């Protein structure tokens, strides 16, 4: 623990008080030197807005999108600010993170939480958003069987998102106790390490290792997620 000054709030930004933060494996990798990171980490959070230009935000519980787009490049013009080459990223790239009493984010990045969602549930919104992004990346046919590799936090969230949207999931990992989470949601789980070749039309890679047989311990850092359509021929 160390003392830091309360951050200044630029116009269009909110000053947020941390209520609950989630420790992502990305945070642990950053401390080991990933991205050449230096500073205050933390990007999974629930916070309370203390100051904002929009007075409707003050006093509200919020979660937030972590990418701070420049707003002026071609990517931003196409509403792809999350891929902006000039962006900063909360707690990861050149923007102090949420693991401090007060931090800032643009007001446009914030989402107000409904009262019925607890802090303990809401702290998963950021990784859950990464999981739901898969449904936007490719037009996966309804009812398709999808293989998910990796039983870390992101792999488990991905499996549950796919199941909730009507897909059949074959979930491969190393830990029976972790796979039991997606198993209870309806996935068929596999822990024997024998991954079939060319058996699935759609595969989600969430192991975080190049060879694709890890436990997802670094999911979020190394691969974040990958979706590919594989030729069945």
pLDDT tens-digit series, residues 13-56: 999 999 999 998 889 989 888 878 888 999 999 999 999 999 99
Q: Are residues 64 and 166 in the same domain?
A: no
Mean pLDDT of 139-166: 94
Q: Are residues 114 and 95 in the same domain?
A: yes
Mean pLDDT of 88-101: 94
Last residue of a domain, one of 107, 123, 139: 123
Do the domain assignments include residue 220? yes
CATH for 159: 3.40.50.720
DSSP states along 103-159 = EEEEGGGEEEPPTTS-HHHHTTHHHHHHHHTHHHHS-PPTT-EEEEE--SHHHHHHH
Structural domain boundaries, residue 95: 13-123
Q: Are residues 147 and 210 in the same domain?
A: yes
Q: Are residues 136 and 117 in the same domain?
A: no
Q: Are residues 143 and 54 in the same domain?
A: no
Q: For residue 105, count other CB atoms closer than 10 A to its CB.
A: 23
Whether the per-residue pLDDT at 216 is higher than 70: the answer is no
Average pLDDT, the chain: 88
Global pTM reads 0.79
Do the domain assignments include residue 1? no
Q: Are residues 21 and 107 in the same domain?
A: yes
């Amino acid at each position: 623990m160390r003392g830091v000054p309360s951050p200044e709030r630029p116009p269009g930004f909110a000053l947020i008080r941390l209520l609950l933060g989630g420790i992502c494996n990305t945070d642990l990798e950053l401390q080991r030197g990933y991205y050449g990171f230096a500073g205050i980490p933390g990007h999974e959070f629930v916070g309370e807005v203390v100051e904002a230009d929009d007075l409707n935000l003050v006093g509200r519980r919020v979660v937030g999108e972590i990418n701070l787009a420049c707003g002026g490049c071609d990517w931003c013009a196409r509403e792809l600010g999350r891929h902006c080459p000039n962006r900063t990223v909360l707690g990861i790239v050149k923007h102090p993170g949420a693991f401090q009493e007060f931090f800032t984010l643009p007001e446009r990045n914030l989402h107000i939480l409904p009262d019925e969602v607890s802090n303990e549930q809401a702290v998963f919104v950021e990784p859950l958003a990464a999981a739901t992004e898969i449904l936007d990346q490719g037009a996966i046919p309804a009812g398709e069987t999808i293989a998910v590799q990796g039983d870390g936090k992101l792999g488990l969230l991905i499996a549950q998102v796919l199941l909730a949207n009507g897909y059949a999931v074959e979930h491969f990992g190393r830990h029976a106790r972790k796979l039991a989470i997606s198993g209870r949601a309806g996935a068929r789980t596999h822990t024997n390490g024998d991954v079939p070749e060319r058996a699935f039309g759609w595969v989600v890679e969430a192991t975080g290792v190049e060879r694709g047989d890890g436990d997802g311990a670094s999911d979020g850092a190394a691969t974040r997620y990958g979706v590919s359509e594989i030729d069945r021929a």
